[in-house]
Structure 1
Amino acid sequence: METAFFYKFKARIIFKKDNNELAFEEVEKDFENENPILARENALRFFNSYVEVVTGVENISAEQLKEKEIDFIDPGTNTLIQVDSNNIYLSDSIGNGIGVFLCFKTGFIEQEENEMIIHGFGGIGPFGLSKSGLIYNLEKEFELYKKFDYGTSGYETTVLFCDPEEWAEGYREDEPSSYKILKTPINWDLYSAPYWWGKDTSDQIEEKNKTEKLINIIENGETSQVEFKPALLYNFLTKKGGIGIKAIIAKTICGFLNTKGGILFIGINDKKKIVGLEKDFSLSDGKDEKDFFRLEFDQMIDHFLSFSVKPNVNGDFQWINEKDIFVVIVEPSKAKPVFLKGQNEKEFYVRGEASTRQLTDIEEIIDYWIERMGNF
């Protein structure tokens, strides 16, 4: 049975001959199988073998490969050419690289280009082999397998990728994004967080200052405007998730809203130890962990308080001491008191010195709110 596409290995490298002159070596090899995933696997295996021969290193890592490729991809030399009597020096690295391409067959797929690179390094593919270009191609490849109903069992994976261009243009709510692709030798975890491509000085300073401020707040412990909670969902006593933990979080937020606002740290216990969010993430059941957490947090706000308070409650993940935590900034409610939806009736909470307490007497609540509003 003829398939809609096949795979091609391409290499164009540069090396020095015995007389020190530069010479290019070009290699192409097609891989085709009625089961395209096997052709793909063979092409990637050949890629690895070729790289081992060229570099002289078995199972070479991406970091090692980056260092080694300088020799046979970019020798740092230029070639002089003349264009309309003008001398132009072109780098001898142009077009050099090693890659695996998915090639489209005529009559099956209408594409402007007849091939797209799915793995490689150097300048052999379009986009200068940018990670953004590769992830787009890999996503397209996965869609083609589904379109033609080719088997992908055992090869499917979902990866996170933070696109530098999308990030720079301000679309940060959508980054990193998840992509359904077929497995490749690339470790996409290295490209899942913002600024994997490097940061400018202002970004570095801003993030460092923010982290230092948060660490300082944590070290000073709980106060009337600072609270620590080890988890959003996970109950450390029962060893499973439960809505009761959410209720405790909601009471704290309610107290902040009705007092002077504050900061709630989720992923830190009452002894100021950063425990992270792994226990909460373990309840995600295969879903994207952070998306799952955000959804549960929003549902908690809606269930126990009201989504109308959301503009006053803003949370985001922070990476501190090699762990994820969730930092919630709560602005005080100035328009009206906020009540928590209890099991039988609405409940009113305020913050004390380092804890949240409930006011139950109606007159006490009214007196408190009148006095509080007089302080704004």
Structure 2
Amino acid sequence: LRKQINEFLSYEESSCGSIMSVDFVTIKQTNNVAQAMKTIRRQGKLAETINLCYVVDDSKKLVGSISLKDILFAKDESIIEEIMEHDIHYVFTHEDQEEAAKLISKYDITSIPVIDSAKTVLGIITVDDILDVVEEEATEDIHKMGAMTPLDGSYVESSTMSIIMSRMPWLLVLMISATFTGSIISSNQEILVLLPSLAIFIPMLMDTAGNAGSQASAMVIRGLVVDDMGVKDFVKILIKETQVSMLLGFVLFVINTLRIGFFMPDVGWGIAILVSLTIFITILLANLVGGALPLLALVMKQDPASMAAPLITTLVDALSLMTYFLIASYFLRL
């Protein structure tokens, strides 16, 4: 028992080794079904699950798996090696627990073996264990996407100071970075003096761009989490986001032009077109940034949720303002 405890303590937190169960059933590949049933009766009393048993060779190396159902319906003299499943999925003790969750979800299996470098089975991770992992990882991602450091415990049980410290770092970073956004407005005061009505639409432009970028990043981050996409799909993602942006931008361009033109007649159709053109361009830029930033984080070996999500709004806010004032300058010939 002491040896097992020391082994568990040697595994990093959130690794497969730290959450595995050491109570499982292994069957020798040279055994027949009758011998396998005796092994299951002997080892199964304390095992986490007996629905899936793991097959090993004489050196205890993992070579396959076999379900209890297959054993029950096979003839007693059948050799396990002949009826077992040779294609088996596994994880190493040092791998992140999220990898086990991905494999169990992807291949719809009830448990997965945890092995060492010699392919010796050291434990198993079951669906029950993975449910806890999924909840933990989802909570962590939500915190990161909200520009917060994940809490160690639940919100209710966490101290006020720990919650403050989890939120403070990104708030400071984003507040300081917003200085750049303010400097863009400050350096274009001449345009706002000539056309004061342009200031009315700045909040709407920044909100629209931020929302568009957040939508794109959420889709890409989700795809990365479930292994639907990777860095290799970078070009495909940019093409897809460009297509989506063009259609979204066109619809918003038409609706916004009509909205301003008919419901804000004092502003004029010229300003309506200027603002709507800015929306069209910023939707394109925001979606490209939102799609590319999570992949950039992955290339830099950073968590896409923690790096991309908080920065997107600040970046696209700056891009929307720069685009707005550039288009206004062109219209005014400044």
State the TM-score, normalizing by the size of structure 2.
Answer: 0.29
State the TM-score, normalizing by the size of structure 1.
Answer: 0.26
Structure with the largest fraction of strand: 1
